[in-house]
Structure 1
Amino acid sequence: MISKKIVIKIPTGLEARPVALLVQVASQYESNVYVECEEKKVNAKSIMGMMSLGLPAGEEINVIVDGSDEEVAMENIEKYLCGNK
């Protein structure tokens, strides 16, 4: 299991379209992917869960990835959240 603090650099924050794209990125991997913000922890493969966080640009989140492809998954999720699709 690995975790990393990441600042969201997508200009619009995580609203509908960016959340859908993040869910697509996370869903490519076998690993479990979670996003923590304050006291909330949600499955990054769940559109409804991610939408419930309402994360603005500049927000710092903790991404937790656990599984066989966790390194690659974390790398690509971080690239997406930092605006380096």
Structure 2
Amino acid sequence: MPTTTVTVGSTVGLHARPAAIIAEAAGDLDSEVLIGLPGSEGVDAGSSLLIMTLGAGHGDAVEVSGDVEADVAVIAALVAQDLDAD
């Protein structure tokens, strides 16, 4: 399963707005993508609520994994961006 580690770029961490943007993008993909803290089981990237339960803050490392490498790359890129910036 392709996995990449990425640093959370949003200044508020993976909170409401960034989590919603990531979940919406994950919902548009054809495969399931998981997000988790290193060493822990990932949660469904298609659920903003589950993403927020991770408690990942700005600068924290998270692992993004899934069966399709391109889909993992899409979600990893979003996690790395500051999605809370206007």
The structure with the largest strand share of the pair is 1
The yes-or-no answer on 1:23 pairing with 2:19 is: no
Q: Name the TM-score, length of structure 1 as normaliser.
A: 0.83
Give per-residue Cα distances to partners, 1:51-83, cap 9 Å, x unaligned: 2112101110111111xxx23212221221121
Q: Secondary structure at the match of 1:17?
A: helix
1:38-49 aligned within 5 A: 38-49=39-50
Q: Secondary structure at the match of 2:81?
A: coil
1:84/1:72 CA distance change after superposition, 3 Å: farther
Q: CA deviation at 1:39?
A: 2.5
- Identical aligned pairs, as a percentage? 26
Q: Secondary structure at the match of 2:42?
A: strand
Give per-residue Cα distances to partners, 1:19-63, cap 9 Å, x unaligned: 000101111111111112143421111122112112101110111
The yes-or-no answer on 1:51 pairing with 2:49 is: no
Ranges in structure 2 where 5+ consecutive residues have no aligned partner:
none
1:7-22 aligned within 5 A: 7-22=7-22
The amino acid that maps onto 1:13 is: G
Residue from 63, 70, 73 that aligns with 1:72: 70
1:42/1:84 CA distance change after superposition, 3 Å: same
The yes-or-no answer on 1:61 pairing with 2:62 is: yes
Ranges in structure 1 where 5+ consecutive residues have no aligned partner:
none
Hey, what does 1:35 align to over in structure 2?
A: 35
